[in-house]
């Protein structure tokens, strides 16, 4: 079977490692993923912090909002202990540390950076992220995504060539409007929504999340979607090989 669908590791190998840590990203690369998905926030001292939630409570031994802590405070937190004692002492990475890891691995796949501006605005983060990537050379394909349409509009104004995608659970009408206005290239919808609306968009523009079950992986692979975003990249890579007959 012809399957070109890329496998993007959601917060790294989230299902098997502490999410959004260098350990998790390295595991995903070792598993043969085609892409890495992660999330970026601003700390109190305007450093790029890699974490999904706006607070540190769920994934670390600390508590409180990211933007109320400076980088030094965040680095003292343990980002592995809540996942497993095995990963005790794992630190919260910065965007620069993740990019350095990808460069060290000569990673040529997709780097999907979600701007977490749908709950906390982080004024200026779009410009700051653009300036950071404009100042370095990197081997991967950079894709920006966000639930916040305004952040995507700001990115478009800063750099019309930037590759942008709209995340959504159910707000498909807004996503279609953004696509029509050429503010985004692709859609990153919830897989549950995709299965309820199979004719929403061309599969070449779909990268659904979070595709974890074998059934959902097969659904996407059979339709040859652009990519899946999954917590289990190793499992997805193996299934894709089996379906391809590799």
**pLDDT the model gives residue 246:** 81
Alpha helix locations (H) across 47-183?
71-75, 95-104, 125-134, 149-158, 172-180
The catalytic residue positions are: 10, 52
Q: Could you tell me the two tokens for 24?
A: 């998790």
| DSSP code per residue over 138-151 | -SSEEEEEES-HHH
- Write down the pTM of the prediction: 0.98
166-177 pLDDT, tens digit per residue, is 999 999 999 999
Low-confidence ranges of the chain (pLDDT < 50): none
Distant-in-sequence, close-in-space partners of 133: CB < 8 Å, separation ≥ 6: 142
Domains of the chain in sequence order: 6-56+93-244 (3.20.20.190)
Tell me the pLDDT tens digit for each residue of 131-160.
999 999 999 999 999 999 999 999 999 999
């Amino acid at each position: 079977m012809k399957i070109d669908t890329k496998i993007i590791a959601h917060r790294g190998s989230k299902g098997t490692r502490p999410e959004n840590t260098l350990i998790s990203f390295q595991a995903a690369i070792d598993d043969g993923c085609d892409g890495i998905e992660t999330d970026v926030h601003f700390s109190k001292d305007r450093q790029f912090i890699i974490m999904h939630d706006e607070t540190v409570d769920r994934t670390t031994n600390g508590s409180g909002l990211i933007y109320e802590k400076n980088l030094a405070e965040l680095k003292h937190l343990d980002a592995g202990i809540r996942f497993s004692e095995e990963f005790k002492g794992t630190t919260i990475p910065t965007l620069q540390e993740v990019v350095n890891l990808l460069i060290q691995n000569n990673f040529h796949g997709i780097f999907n950076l979600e701007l977490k501006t749908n709950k906390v605005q982080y004024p200026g983060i779009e410009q700051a992220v653009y300036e950071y990537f404009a100042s370095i050379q990197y081997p991967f394909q950079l894709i920006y995504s966000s639930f916040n349409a305004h952040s995507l509009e700001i990115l478009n104004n800063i750099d019309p060539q930037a590759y942008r995608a709209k995340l959504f659970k159910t707000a498909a009408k807004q996503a279609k409007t953004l696509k029509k206005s050429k503010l985004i290239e692709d859609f990153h919808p919830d897989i549950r929504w995709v299965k309820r609306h199979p004719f929403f968009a061309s599969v070449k523009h779909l990268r659904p999340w979070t595709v974890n079950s074998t059934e959902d992986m097969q659904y996407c692979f059979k339709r040859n979607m652009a990519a899946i975003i999954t917590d289990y990249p190793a499992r997805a890579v193996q299934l894709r090989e089996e379906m391809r007959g590799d």
